[in-house]
Structure 1
Amino acid sequence: MAICLLLVFSACGSSPQPSEELPTPSAAKELPMPEGTGAAGGQELTINMPENPQTLNPLTAQEENLCNVLSLVVEPAIKIEANGEILPSVIENWTFDAQTMTFTFVIRKNVSFHDGKGTVGADDLLFCIERICSYTEAESPYAKYKYVVGGYAKIDDTTFTVKVTEKTKDIFYFMNFPVLPKSYYESAGVDFLQKPVGTGPYQVDSYTKGEGMALSLFGDWWKTPPVFTKITAKPMDAEDSKIKGYQDGSFDAVMSASYTAESYASEGKTTVHPIVYPTYHCLIPNMGDSFVGNKNVRRAISMALDRSKIVSASVLGSGQATETPLRQDLWYFENSSSAVGNGYNASAAGKLLEDAGYKLDAETGFRYSENGNGSKNYLKVDLIFTEAKDFAYRSAVCESVADQLAVVGIQVNIIEKSDEDYKTALSQRNFDLALCSYSMKSNQEIDFLFSAENNYGGYNSGALQEQLGAAHSALTEEELQTAYTALQKSLLEDMPNIGLFYGEHSLIMRSDISIGKPLGYKNIFANINEWK
């Protein structure tokens, strides 16, 4: 049986094509409807927002605190939790036809827009898709995934299709866009400072630049309502001013990027909730080095590091420890303890070094290999870094690494370089270990770390490339878990780079408010209906 399309089949950046018929997609697992557990309780909440936002358009907003505030007002077509889990939202379920490379998306019925803008329909979703496809990657965070959209078409008011250019989970990251009413945004223009309208738990009553935003509970929201009936977002950017405002009672919660945020925690009064920030800090080993080029030595270095001490010493506890580029809190690893990590184990690290032929000199406490003439060749590695300009923490990272590696008999020579000299050393592989920081992708893909441009250590593995490809093309829950678990185990076995930690931002909030699930970057209010 064929499905007759009611709208021409359009592609990102292409002209409209003649309408055509697509075969009915095969049945796929229907994901459960997300449920709220909050209950309206008449509470009010005061938070901070940016002082001078350049736009309030949810499709183009990129500033962290602005996106957080907008997550009260708009909801994604498909939801992605802080742990990477992909869930239904305004889109209730979907199927994929591998033969035609076509997704069929079904919109949840009776999801209402604010301000009487009607219920969500296929025209609204297709309007958002069309807008995103018109943006550059710099203009919209969703546009980086528009490459996967080969075309889209309306079937009926609650159903539409998207033809993809390849089989990849990136379609879900594209479909993570906020759902907006076509009738409002089409007339308002692509970039504006008018009040935002969406389907979220809160509607905007007013917005005045310099004064902030007043929000009230949306009575027709499709989930159980949150406990807060009113939310006030006051403009405040400066970290010191936000903290002072929280301490004097002007704010109930403030979003902070300060490394000192944890110091404001106070039992029974203030809780500091972590928000994993997508900056990954790691040690890059030079594969051409006779010492760190040895897989077992790299594993020993990793196991010798107590990452919690590194995080405490360098960023005052504002970091999430990780052994690989794949965060250990991702949902893929929930059923596989071996994929989480090896953990800190100095004795096991020492055994690995011993088995690799590096004996411990009882007199000096350092390890060595024996030369042909019986003399000792002591292990000593150069660790290069360049200091951050905004907050000098990298020297403390290196010092903590050096202190811990000394415990297992590895001498570390820390070398600070200028930005230019550091980049030159990386490009020429003139180092043993290098402390590096990367801005990671929202789709949990790490292939760029091993591309020609970023593969500073010179790691090369055909097996790893295959695993990266499998992770990219995975779609179902089973495929994703299988692919990412295999990839994580491979990273832990070979340690092509040695993870240290991800950065963290924070939500500083009254302790009498319980949040439940972890908070997502740029999306901390996504589950506010579960707060108590």
Structure 2
Amino acid sequence: MSKKNMTVTVGLAVLMLALLASPLVAGGRAETAVDRDTLRIAIGAEPESLDPVKMTSAPAATVGEHVVERLIYMEEDGTLTPMLATSWEANADSTVWTFQIRQGVTFHDGAPLNAEAVRQNLARFVDPDVGAAYAFLLGSVQDIQATGEYTLQLRLAQPFAPILSHLSHSFIGIVSPNQIRDLPPEGTFENPIGTGPYVMDRWSRGDSIRLSVNEDYWGSTPQIPNLVFNFIPEESARIVALETGEADAIMAVPPQDVARLEADPNIDVVFQTSVRTIYVSFNNVREPFTDVRVRRALNYAVDKQAIVDSIFEGSGFVADAPIPDAVFGHTSVGPYEYDPDRARELLAEAGYPDGFSMTLHHPTGRYPLDATVAQAVQSMLADVGVDARLETREWSSYLQFTAQPPEQAEYDMFMLGWGTVTLDADYGLYALLHTRQWNPNGNNRGFYSNERVDELLDQARVETNPDQRAPMYHEAVQLIWEDAPWIFLYNAAQINAVRTNVEGLIHHPLENLSAWDAYFR
């Protein structure tokens, strides 16, 4: 398994007070003694599930990929490399894909990995009765067969351009057939049994997940025996945990704390690119957001550049499309420039000269400074007469709340982020903006619908020529931008931090923090 660490660290300014008898860190906080048998990573949100068909977030992917593996792995540079599949090939029209499954691999319960085990997992993933939110990843798969002990064949109803990048997605993970064989469609499990370098040890709800090394791992056995993911939503608490040594690494460092951490000689700050777009979605079937003039008005009302400059200190970019520029199919069509006067004009035209009241739902701790961004949006909307009441929830509850079908959806607007982790526009556009992906079994939580956009996204899925696909996405992006189903905010950047005695962590552009190659020095 080829996994290269592309960590980029910034220089440290040596700034230490005279040491006392006990070790201190910046600010005089007592430092926790290093436990070289356990690597502790602090993340901002608790996974909603570690059952691959129920996973819907990056925190779940970050934890889950240490336990459950997929057929194909996407390297930090976007290269697709073998994982549980050692090779693959397609027929002439790309409607039949044949995969060779890695031999000599066992699941954590001792069951052998073979083509039939993979078949059972993929069949569960696409089963409509299971209702996996990410079933669209294999939307064209018509038949799945184990044609030999280690040979798997996927038959597609039509060519499906992004199939290989989709198979690299963390949510198409392969668990032991013993875990799912007798599981009813609505059934799930808490502790997955995979083939990965770590084994589930304990999930302490609301606190942490503990993993232990898989001594029988088919690849290189990790050097650190235990891995703990601690859930710490508050940014300041994560910073303190790192400074005191209670955490060895943290994700989502607020930009305003970078200088503080850089001044600590025991900490490296890590900057990495991201493929995540942060947005505020309207409930597009709920008044007054059924009116495109209202949706556009609120886009003009929000000063996205001020958010990037003031809250994130220039870290990140104002969104100029629904997907970042690193993604195939991107074209720049924005941004909506900050123009509160134009916002007021559009609101008046739509029949709201005095504005209106609504509720803006947002997570806390899931994305860097998400609550602060929500407060900024609230203030800017107030300037054009829109009274936005803020409401937040714990992450898993938030996801459930925003996953209701349209007739039950009780929200006006909600803030979310989406990482296009396949680097293909199908994942960033089809999943969020196609009519067939409306809740409850999809990710179009804002109920956006445009017949022409649907047509273009459908066509682009089956067109295998990139030169023909790209213009389809460009037209779809333009239409989506004009329809303004979201307030398009910004493309996020990743800032993580690590104790200097830790090496080998992979800070992936897909926002996974991978620890299988990590070690203490």
Whole-Å Cα distance in 1 between the matches of residues 418 and 270 of structure 2? 24
Structure 2 SS opposite 1:120: coil
Relative distance call for 1:465 and 1:132 in structure 2 (3 A) is closer
Secondary structure of the corresponding residue to residue 262 of structure 2: coil
- Distance in 2, Cα, partners of 1:456 & 1:57: 25
Counterpart for residue 370 of structure 1: none
Pair 1:520-2:510 in alignment? yes
Paired position in structure 2 for 1:280: 279
Identify which of 138, 144, 155 aligns with 2:147: 155
1:102–1:64 CA distance, 2 compared to 1 (3 A): same
Structure 2 match to 1:327: 324
After superposition, the Cα gap between the structure-2 partners of 1:326 and 1:44, relative to the gap in structure 1 and judged at 3 Å, is same
Question: Quick one: distance in 2 between partners of 1:137 and 1:264?
Answer: 47
Structure 1 residues 88 and 278: CA distance shift in structure 2, 3 A: farther
Tell me which residue corresponds to 1:132: 125
Amino acid across the alignment from 2:226: I
Partner of 2:441: none
Which residues in structure 2 correspond to 1:464-475 (within 5 Å)?
467-474=456-463
Q: Counterparts of 1:465 and 1:471 in 2: how far apart (Å)?
A: 10
Distance 2:431 2:56 in 1: 24
Letter in 1 for 2:117: D
Alignment correspondent of 2:88: 94
CA distance in 2, matches of 1:49, 1:282: 25
Which residue number in structure 2 is paired with residue 213 of structure 1?
210
Give the Cα–Cα distance (whole angstroms) in 2 for the partners of residues 87 and 312 of structure 1. Answer: 38
Which deviations, in whole Å up to 9, do the C-alpha atoms of 1:473-494 show, x marking residues without a partner?
24x5x52x75246634774699
Distance 1:264 1:65 in 2: 25
Structure 2 counterpart of 1:445, from 426, 429, 434? 429
Contact persistence 2:275–2:324 (CA under 8 A): no
**Structure 1 residue 472, shift from structure 2 partner:** 2.4
Does structure 1 conserve the Cα–Cα contact (< 8 Å) formed by 2:359 and 2:390?
yes
- Return the alpha-carbon distance in structure 2 between the equivalents of residues 328 and 273 of structure 1: 18
Larger radius of gyration: 1
| 1:531 to partner: Cα distance | 12
Task: Classify the secondary structure of the residue corresponding to 1:393.
Answer: helix
Distance 1:282 1:79, change over 3 A: same
Shift of 1:343: 8.5
Q: Distance in 2 between matches of 1:456 and 1:66?
A: 22
The answer to whether the 8 A contact 1:319-1:503 is kept is: yes
**In structure 1, what is the equivalent of residue 399 of structure 2?**
none
Compared CA separation, residues 175 and 135, structure 1 to 2 (3 A):
farther
Seen in structure 2, the aligned counterparts of structure 1 residues 84 and 440 have a Cα distance that, compared at 3 Å, is: farther
Question: Displacement, 1:125?
Answer: 0.4
Task: Give the 3 Å change call, closer, same or farther, for CA 129–515 of structure 1 in structure 2.
Answer: same
> Which residue matches 1:7?
none
Partners of 1:309 and 1:115 lie apart in 2 by 49
TM-score (norm 1): 0.59
Partner of 1:415: 386
Q: Retained in 2: the 8 A contact 1:103–1:161?
A: yes
Secondary structure in structure 2 of the residue aligned to 1:444: helix
Residues 310 and 213 of structure 1, relative CA distance in 2, 3 Å threshold: closer
Q: Is the partner of 2:514 in helix, strand or coil?
A: coil
Q: Secondary structure of the equivalent of 2:513?
A: coil
CA distance in 2, matches of 1:130, 1:167: 19
For residue 245 of structure 1, give the secondary structure of its aligned residue in structure 2. helix
The offset of 1:253, in angstroms, is: 1.4
Displacement of 1:524: 3.1
Q: CA separation of 1:486/1:137 partners in 2, compared to 1, >3 Å: closer, same or farther?
A: same
Q: Which residue pairs with 1:373 in the alignment? A: none
2:68 alignment partner in structure 1: 74
CA contact (8 A) 2:39 2:226 kept: yes
Matched, 1:168 2:144: no
- 1:325-474 to 2 correspondences below 5 Å: 325-330=322-327, 339=331, 387-388=360-361, 391=371, 393-394=373-374, 396-397=376-377, 413=384, 415-417=386-388, 437=415, 440=418, 443-446=427-430, 449=433, 462=452, 467-474=456-463
Matching residue's letter, 1:280: Y
CA distance in 2, matches of 1:49, 1:35: 25
How many residue pairs get aligned? The number is 424
Shift of 1:95: 3.0
Equivalent residue runs for 1:198-347 within 5 Å? 198-200=194-196, 202-204=197-199, 206-207=201-202, 209=204, 212-216=209-213, 218=215, 220-222=217-219, 228-233=223-228, 235-239=230-234, 241-256=237-252, 265-267=261-263, 269-271=267-269, 273=271, 277=276, 279-281=278-280, 308-314=305-311, 320-330=317-327, 339=331
Contact preservation (8 Å) 2:200, 2:211: yes
- 2 CA distance for matches of 1:417 and 1:398? 6
Q: Partner letter of residue 469 of structure 1?
A: D
| Displacement of 1:154 | 1.3
Q: Which residue does the alignment assign to 2:473?
A: 487
* 1:149 to 1:450, Cα distance in 2 relative to 1, 3 A: closer
Task: Sort the Cα spacing of 1:520 and 1:151 in 2 relative to 1 into closer, same or farther, 3 A.
Answer: same
Q: AA paired with 1:518?
A: H
Q: Which ranges of structure 1 fall in alignment gaps of 5 or more residues?
A: 1-33, 334-338, 351-365, 368-380, 403-411, 421-426, 428-433
* CA distance 1:70–1:273, change in 2 (3 Å): farther
RMSD between superposed Cα atoms in Å: 5.6
